[in-house]
Amino acid sequence: MATAKKLTDNHLTCVICTEVFTDPATLQCNHTFCKSCLLKYTKTQPKAIQAKSIPCPSCRQLTRVTNPDSPVEKWVSQLKPSHVIQGLMDDLGESSDTCSVCKVDGETTPGTMWCTICDDVFCDGCLKLHKKMPLSRDHEVIDLRIHSNYKPKAHRFMCRIHKDEKIKLFCKDCRMAICTVCCSIKHRKCDDVETIDTMTPLVKESLITETRNQEKKIKTYTDNISSTNSKIEKLSTNAREMKDQVQKVRMAAVDVLLRKEKKLLDRIDQLTETHVHKLKAHRKSQEIELKMHQQRYEFTDKAVTSNCVADMYDIYETVAVASRDEDTSEDKRPIPSTIVFTHDTDKLMRSVDEVQLGEVKVVQGVSDRTPSPVLLQTIDILTFYDSLLDVAVLVVDGIKVTVVIDRFNSRLNACYTSNKTLIKKYLQLPTGPRRVAQVGGAQAAVTLPDTQQIAFINFNPEPSLLSTVKTKRKYYGLACLNSSQLVAGGDDSRASVDVLDMKGNVLKSINTGVIKNPSYIHVTRNNNLIFSDEEVKSLASVTSDGEVVFTYTPTGDKALVYARGVTTTITGDILFVDTGTNRVIQLTESGQFVRDVLTQLYGLERPRGICLDDDGLLYVTDDGHVKVFTFAKD
C-alpha cells in the first residue's frame, strides 16, 4: 500500500485505468500508459491500425511501429517506458534487491550482485550460472553489499535494441538516443548525429524549460478548476435562491386562489344564512296558521257533534267571516329559491394552464451584467469614414453572416467564415441604404430613403436582391414587428412611425413621444418599440399602441449627445449607442441605467450600429470596422 501510494503521489498512474502503471510503455509523444490499456485502446482505432501506427489516447499523435507486419500485440509489447518513468518506477517502487532469476520462480531470494549489462540483480547462486554463460561471463557486475548506496539501473543507459551496447550518440533527425551499432545500421542516412555528452546539457535545458511550461499550464488548469468549482458553487446557490423565488411566486398565485375561494365560501354562507332566515320566518308563519286552523277545526267539529242548533249557527257565522279574511290576508310572499354554484371547469383549467410562474433560462455574456467585454474580432470594411450605419447577424444553414450597411458605397456587405477563412461579399444597391432589419431566417429588409424604397435581400449566404417596394415617405429607421409587418420611421418631423405590410402599405401610425424623427428602431420581446434620434438627447420606449413605457434623458456626465443603434438582450436589457460620447450603454427593460458596457477605453471611435447574435456576441460598427466583443468574468 505504501509503495502504491508513493507511485500515485508522484503521478506514476495510467490515465486510462487510473491505476499505478503496470508494465508501462512510452509513445513517441512521451505519453506513458499501461501496455494492456494501450493495446485495448489501439484495437478500437481501425484507422490507426490501417496506418500501421499506435495512436496516443491523450494527444492522438501516431507512433510508427518498427514491425508493421506483426500483430498489434507485438507492436505494443515492443514499446519500452521512458528512462525517466522507469527510473521513477525503480526509485519509488518495490525494492529491486530481489534476485531476478529467483523472482521468476516465485521466490524472493535477496540479490547481492547487479549486472550492469543485463540490468538484473542476482543472488550468489544465480550469479554462478550467469558467469558460466558464454555471452555473459565477461559482464561487469557490482557487489551491492559493498556499494550499499548504489541503486541498480540508476546509472544505466543501455540501448533498447542492442542491450550490450551503451548509449553514446543522439540522432537529431530522428530525435533518438542511440548506440554506435544503431547509428551504423539504421541512421547512416541521418545528417545530424551528436554525442550524448554534447547533447545532455541541451536536453537538460530543454527539459527544464518544459517543466516551467508545464508548471505554468498546471497553474492555469488549477486556477481554471478552482474558478469552475467556484462557478459550480455559485450556480448551486443560485439554484436554491431561484427555487425559493419560484415557490414564493407559486404561493402568491395560491394566495390569489385562496382569496377567491374564501370569497365564494363567504358568499355561500351569506346567501344561505339570508335564505334560511327567510325560510324559518315562513315556517313560523305556517306554524301559527296551522294552530289557528286546528282550533277552528275543533270548534267546528264540536258544534256539529253537539247537535246544538245555536252553536252551529254561531260557528257558521265565524267561519264565513274567517273565510273572507283569509281571502284578503293570504301571505303572497314567494318562498326563497335554491342557491346554486355555477362554474366552467374547462375554462378554469385553460386559465390555469396559461398561468406563467416565470421563465428559467441560461444568462451569459452581457445579459449577466457583470462580465467585461473582450475584443474578439475586427472586421474591416473598405469604405468612407463614418459610413457604416447599421449591422445585423443572420444564421443561414448554420453559417453566421454579418450584414453591414455601407451608405457611402451604396451597398450591403455580407461577411462570413468558410473553411476558417473570412469571406466578404457585397450587394450593390440603387442608392445609399440606411438601416437593415431581419425579416426571416435568411432574409432582411433595407431602407433606401433617397428613392423612397424598401429592398428585400436574400442570403445564401451570399446576398442577392429579391425585390423592392415603393413607399409614400422617406423611411430611415426600420424594424420587423412580426412576420408580416415592418415598423419604419421617416424624416418629416412627425412624432410617429408607420406600421407597414410587406408591400409598403401603411396599416397604422404609432406615437413616438419625444422622438420626432426616429432614425433607429428596435422591437423588444414584449413587442414594445424603442426609438432613438441623434437630434434628441433621449431614448424613448412605447407600446405598440403608442403608450409611453419610459423616456431616458440623463443629465450631467451621463447626458446623451447622439443616441443611435439599439438592441436588447435575452433578458430584456437594452443596449444602445451614444456616438457623441463613444459609449455603449446598458439599461434595464424599464429604462434604468445599469452601466457603460463599452467606452473609448475599448477603442470606440464614432460607433453607430449595434446588434447581439444568438451566442451573446456584441457587434458594433465603428468607423470603417465592425468590432465583435465577447464577455468574460474578470
Picking from 94, 120, 141, the residue at the C-terminal end of a domain is 94
The dihedrals phi and psi of 388, each to the nearest 5 degrees, come to -85, 105
In a domain, 566, yes or no: yes
Cell of 473: 415617405
- Better-scored residue on pLDDT, 306 or 95: 306
Confidence tier at 430 by pLDDT (50, 70, 90)? very high
Model confidence over 190-216: pLDDT tens digits? 888 889 888 888 888 888 998 899 899
Instruction: Assess whether 323 and 446 both reside in one domain.
Output: no
- Rounded to an integer, the average pLDDT of 608-619 is 93
DSSP SS3 for 613: coil
- Rounded to an integer, the average pLDDT of 617-628 is 93
**In sequence order, what DSSP letters do the residues of 591-606 get, joined into one string?**
S-EEEEEE-GGGT-SS
Picking from 354, 382, 404, the residue at the C-terminal end of a domain is 354
In a domain, 370, yes or no: yes
pLDDT at 89: 67
Spatial separation of the C-alpha atoms in residues 246 and 356, rounded to whole Å: 11
Query: Hey, how many other C-beta atoms are within 10 angstroms of the C-beta on 135?
Result: 10
In a domain, 472, yes or no: yes
In a domain, 218, yes or no: no
Spatial separation of the C-alpha atoms in residues 145 and 138, rounded to whole Å: 21
Query: Would the pLDDT of 3 be above 50?
Result: no
In a domain, 142, yes or no: no
Determine whether 286 is exposed, middle or buried from the number of CB atoms within 10 Å of its CB (0-12, 13-18, 19+): exposed
pLDDT at 321: 65
Spatial separation of the C-alpha atoms in residues 167 and 589, rounded to whole Å: 74
Query: Would the pLDDT of 150 be above 70?
Result: no
Instruction: Assess whether 540 and 564 both reside in one domain.
Output: yes
Instruction: Assess whether 395 and 495 both reside in one domain.
Output: yes
How many domains is the chain built from? 3
Query: Would the pLDDT of 170 be above 50?
Result: yes
Instruction: Assess whether 536 and 494 both reside in one domain.
Output: yes
Instruction: Assess whether 389 and 344 both reside in one domain.
Output: no
Model confidence over 33-49: pLDDT tens digits? 888 898 889 888 888 88
Poorest-confidence range of 128-142, 300-314, 416-430? 300-314
Domain with 9 in it: what CATH number? 3.30.40.10
Spatial separation of the C-alpha atoms in residues 414 and 406, rounded to whole Å: 11
Name every residue whose Cβ is closer than 8 Å to that of residue 607 and which is 6 or more positions away in sequence. 564, 565, 577, 579, 582, 584, 598, 620, 621, 622
Instruction: Assess whether 423 and 326 both reside in one domain.
Output: no
In a domain, 16, yes or no: yes
pLDDT at 69: 84
Return the percentage of the chain with pLDDT > 70, whole number: 91
DSSP SS3 for 514: coil
Name every residue whose Cβ is closer than 8 Å to that of residue 24 and which is 6 or more positions away in sequence. 14, 32, 33, 34, 35, 81, 85, 86, 89
- Rounded to an integer, the average pLDDT of 54-75 is 86
Picking from 329, 354, 379, the residue at the C-terminal end of a domain is 354
Domain with 386 in it: what CATH number? 2.120.10.30
Poorest-confidence range of 10-14, 320-324, 366-370? 320-324
pLDDT at 326: 60
In a domain, 471, yes or no: yes
Spatial separation of the C-alpha atoms in residues 192 and 214, rounded to whole Å: 28
pLDDT at 154: 46
Model confidence over 328-359: pLDDT tens digits? 555 556 665 678 888 888 888 888 888 888 77
Query: Hey, how many other C-beta atoms are within 10 angstroms of the C-beta on 440?
Result: 13
Instruction: Assess whether 305 and 410 both reside in one domain.
Output: no
Model confidence over 494-553: pLDDT tens digits? 788 999 999 999 999 998 888 888 999 999 999 999 999 888 889 999 999 999 999 999
Model confidence over 401-425: pLDDT tens digits? 999 999 999 999 999 998 889 999 9
Instruction: Assess whether 302 and 388 both reside in one domain.
Output: no
Instruction: Assess whether 347 and 370 both reside in one domain.
Output: no
The boundaries of the domain holding residue 71 are 1-94
In a domain, 288, yes or no: yes
pLDDT at 335: 62
pTM of the full structure: 0.53
Question: Are β-strands 62-64 and 53-55 bridged in parallel, bridged antiparallel, or unpaired?
Answer: antiparallel
Considering the chain, what is the average pLDDT of its residues? Answer: 86
pLDDT at 589: 93
Instruction: Assess whether 337 and 369 both reside in one domain.
Output: no
Instruction: Assess whether 481 and 544 both reside in one domain.
Output: yes
Instruction: Assess whether 268 and 380 both reside in one domain.
Output: no
Q: Are 603 and 375 in contact (CB under 8 A)?
A: yes
